[in-house]
Amino acid sequence: MPTSKHFPRSLLAILSLMFAIFAWQIIVRLSGLPRFILPAPYDVWMRLLKALADGSLLHHTSVTLIEILLGLFAGVGFATTLGYLLAKSPALEKILSPYLVASQAIPVIAIAPLLVIWLGNGILSKVVICALIVFFPVLVNTIVGVRATPPALYDLMRSLRATRWQILSKLELPASLPILFGGLRIGATLSVIGAIVGELVDAQEGLGFLLQLGDFQYDTSMVFVAIFTLITLALSLYGAVVLLERKFSK
Amino acid sequence: MPSKFALTVKNLSVVYPDNNGGLRALDDISFNVRHREFLCFLGPSGSGKTTLLRVLAGLLNPSNGQAHFHHQHPKIGMVFQQANLMAWRTVIENIKLPLELEGMDAARSRAKASEMIELVGLNGFEDALPRELSGGMAQRVAIARALIHDPDLLLLDEPFASLDALTRERMWNELSQIWQTTKKTVIMVTHSINESLFLADRVIVLTSRPGKIKIDVGVDLPRPRKEDIRYTPHFGKLARTLRETIK
Ligand SMILES: Nc1ncnc2c1ncn2[C@@H]1O[C@H](COP(=O)(O)OP(=O)(O)O)[C@@H](O)[C@H]1O
Ligand SMILES: [Mg+2]
C-alpha cells in the first residue's frame, strides 16, 4: 500500500484504530443497547484495568501463551521432521499421504472434546490440539520447501563430498527456509485458535476459560477484553515469525 | 598405485536405463591425464560430455570400466554450465563453501576466499548476492569456488556456454591466466573448437551418441596465448583438423 511521507504507516494505523473506537462509541450511544449486550469502549477499558490490577488477565494470558508455544514447538517439530522424511522418500509419502490427507478432513474442533476426555482438561489436551492444528500447513510447506532445492546444488555438494548433515544444514535448510517460514506464519496464527478451541471445550484457566466465564456471568466487557487480548497475542506471534524470517533471509 | 598420470580412465561406458534396452551415452572410453594437464573434450551436444564429467566427479557410477585417480580420494573442483551459486549466500560466502565443508575455521576460510576474489578479479563484490551479478561475474565466482580448496582435479562443464561472445573470450583469457598460476589438472568440456584450442594442451573429440573417442590431438601452441593466436596458421590448421573430425 503506498503511503506518503507525511503519513507514516504507524500513524495511519493509530488513526484508523481511533476512528474505529469512535464509531463503536457512536453505535453504542445511538442503539441504546444494554451494557451486557454491547459494552462501550470505556466499559471495556475499565474492565481491562481491573483485570490487569487483580492479576487475572496476566495469569490467564500466560497459561494460554504457554499452551500455544508448547503446541507450536511440538507441532512444528513433528511436522518439519516428518515433512523432511516425506520429501526425501517418495515411497514413504505414498504410504502415508492418504492418512495425512484424511486427517485433514476431520476438523480439529470435532475431535477436541475427545482429546479433552482422553488427556484431561489441563494444559496437555490444549497443547496437543494446538500441535495438531499447526501440524499440517507446516508439514506441507516443509515438503514443498525441501523439494524446491535446486537439483544442481545437490550435485555441487556431492562433488565436494558433503556429508548428509552438511547437505541438510548448508543446502536444504537455507534453500527451503522462505517456504518453511510461509508455513510457520500460518501455523503461528492457527496455534492461537487451537489453544482457544481446547480451552472452550473444558478448562480451568486460560483466555478461552476467561471468555466463557465472562459469557456465563453476563460480563460482556470481560469477553471483549479476552478477545482483544487474543488478537494481540495472535498479532505478536505473527510479528515474531516475520521478524525471525527477516533475520534469516537475505 | 602411484603413476605419472593424475587420472587413468579405462573402458568406461555409461548406459542410462530407458524402455528399450538402455540409452548408451558413453561407449568404451579410455584415456590418461597427466598431472597439470589441461585436457579438453570436444563434442556435439548429446555426445556424453556432461555424463563423463559426472562420472569423474563421483556423481554417477559407470555401467562399465573405471576411472582411476592418482590420489585415492581426489578433491574435485567443479564448474557447471550454470554458475550454480547459492542464492542466499554472498559472493564471499559462496566461494568459501568448500572450505566450510572441510571444517576450516571461519577466519582462515574468509582470508583464503579473499585471495580467490583477488584472483578472479571480483574485488568490491565480496558481499554482493548472486542475483546482483552478471553472468560472467557469477561464473567467475563459480571458478573461484571450484579452486579454493586446492583440488586435485578441476572439472569444467561448458562453463562459458551461457555467456555472450565478448564475455566468453575475456573469460578464456582469465581462465588461461588462472590455470598458469594455479597449475591444476583440468578437464574441460566444450563444443567450441576455438575455446578448446585457446585453452587446452590436448583435445579429445567425442563422436555423437554414443560418445566414443574419435581423435586425441596435442595442442602445441605456445603459451601464454593471446586473442590473436587464432589468426596464426598453426591455429588454423588445428582448427581445420578438429572441424573435419567432428563433421
Ligand atoms: N539422467 C539421464 N537419464 C537418461 N538419459 C540421460 C541422462 N542424462 C543424459 N542423458 C542422455 O545421455 C546422452 C548424453 O547426455 P550428456 O552427457 O548430457 O551430453 P552432452 O553433455 O555432451 O550434451 C543424451 O542423449 C542425453 O539425453
Ligand atoms: Mg552437457
Q: Same domain, yes or no, for A44 and A27?
A: no
pLDDT values of chain B reduced to their tens digit, one per residue, 247 residues = 456 788 899 998 999 998 888 888 888 899 999 989 999 999 988 889 999 999 999 999 999 998 888 888 889 999 999 999 999 999 999 999 999 999 999 999 999 999 889 888 899 999 999 999 998 899 999 999 999 998 989 999 999 888 888 888 888 888 888 888 888 899 999 989 999 999 999 999 988 888 878 888 888 888 888 888 889 998 899 999 888 888 7
Q: Same domain, yes or no, for A23 and A92?
A: no
Partners of B54 on chain A (C-beta within 8 Å) are 155
Ligand 1 site, residue B77, Cβ cutoff 6 A: no
Q: Same domain, yes or no, for A40 and A28?
A: no
Q: What is the pLDDT of residue B2?
A: 54
Q: Is B237 contained in some domain?
A: no
Q: Is B245 contained in some domain?
A: no
Give the integer Cα–Cα distance in Å for A111 and A121: 14
Last residue of a domain, one of B96, B121, B149: B149
Ligand 1 site, residue B209, Cβ cutoff 6 A: yes
Q: What angle do CA A166, A171, A172 make, to 5 degrees?
A: 105
Q: Same domain, yes or no, for B164 and B68?
A: yes
Q: What is the mean pLDDT of chain B?
A: 89
ipTM confidence: 0.89
State whether A155 and B59 contact (CB < 8 Å): yes
Q: Same domain, yes or no, for A28 and A53?
A: no
CATH number of domain containing A222: 1.10.3720.10
Q: Is B35 contained in some domain?
A: yes
Q: Same domain, yes or no, for A199 and A237?
A: yes
**pTM of the shown model:** 0.85
Q: Same domain, yes or no, for A96 and A130?
A: yes
Q: Same domain, yes or no, for B46 and B167?
A: yes
Name the domain count of chain A.
2
**Helix A90-105 vs helix A56-88: crossing angle, to nearest 10:** 140
Q: What is the pLDDT of residue B183?
A: 85
Q: In what order do the strands lie in the sheet with B23-34?
A: B23-34, B5-16, B64-69
**Mutation to test the A interface, candidates B53, B60, B71, B80, most A Cβ within 10 Å:** B80
Name the domain count of chain B.
2
Nearest to A68 by CA among A118, A133, A112, A116: A133
Q: Same domain, yes or no, for B184 and B122?
A: no
Q: Same domain, yes or no, for B3 and B63?
A: yes
Q: Is B117 contained in some domain?
A: yes
Ligand 1 site, residue B190, Cβ cutoff 6 A: no
Q: Same domain, yes or no, for A18 and A124?
A: no
Nearest to A185 by CA among A77, A72, A71: A72
Q: Same domain, yes or no, for B97 and B143?
A: yes
Last residue of a domain, one of B100, B117, B149: B149
Interface residue B5 vs chain A (CB under 8 A): no
Q: Same domain, yes or no, for B68 and B91?
A: no
Q: Same domain, yes or no, for B90 and B137?
A: yes
Give the integer Cα–Cα distance in Å for A47 and A36: 13
- The residue of chain A nearest to residue B57, with distances taken between CA atoms, is A159
Q: Same domain, yes or no, for A94 and A113?
A: yes
Amino acid (one-letter) located at B47: S
Give the integer Cα–Cα distance in Å for B92 and B40: 29
Q: Is B240 contained in some domain?
A: no
Q: In what order do the strands lie in the sheet with B76-79?
A: B76-79, B153-157, B185-190, B38-42, B202-206, B213-218
Cell 451494557 sits on residue:
A35
Q: Same domain, yes or no, for B6 and B104?
A: no
Q: Same domain, yes or no, for A109 and A11?
A: no
Strands B38-42 and B64-69: unpaired
CATH number of domain containing B2: 3.40.50.300
pLDDT per residue over B201-247, tens digit each? 999 998 888 887 888 888 888 888 888 888 999 889 999 988 888 87
Q: Name the minimum distance, in Å, from the CA of B146 to any CA of chain A.
A: 9
- In order along chain A (250 residues), what is the average pLDDT of each group of 10 residues? 63 89 88 85 91 93 96 95 93 90 85 92 93 92 94 95 95 94 92 92 92 91 94 93 86
> Which run of H or of E encompasses B13?
strand B5-16
Range of A22's domain? Answer: 1-32
Interface residue B84 vs chain A (CB under 8 A): yes
Q: Same domain, yes or no, for B64 and B117?
A: no
Q: Same domain, yes or no, for B109 and B171?
A: no
Q: What is the pLDDT of residue A154?
A: 96
Q: Same domain, yes or no, for B66 and B159?
A: yes
Range of B44's domain? Answer: 1-74+152-216
Q: Same domain, yes or no, for B133 and B100?
A: yes
Helix (H), strand (E), coil (C) string for chain A: CCCCCCCCHHHHHHHHHHHHHHHHHHHHHHHCCCCCCCCCHHHHHHHHHHHHHCCHHHHHHHHHHHHHHHHHHHHHHHHHHHHHHHHHCHHHHHHHHHHHHHHHHCCHHHHHHHHHHHHCCCHHHHHHHHHHHHHHHHHHHHHHHHHCCCHHHHHHHHHCCCCHHHHHHHHHHHHHHHHHHHHHHHHHHHHHHHHHHHHHHCCCCCHHHHHHHHHHCCCHHHHHHHHHHHHHHHHHHHHHHHHHHHHHCC
**DSSP letters along B82-128, please?**
S----TTS-HHHHHTHHHHHHT--HHHHHHHHHHHHHHTT-TT-TT-
Q: Same domain, yes or no, for A77 and A149?
A: yes
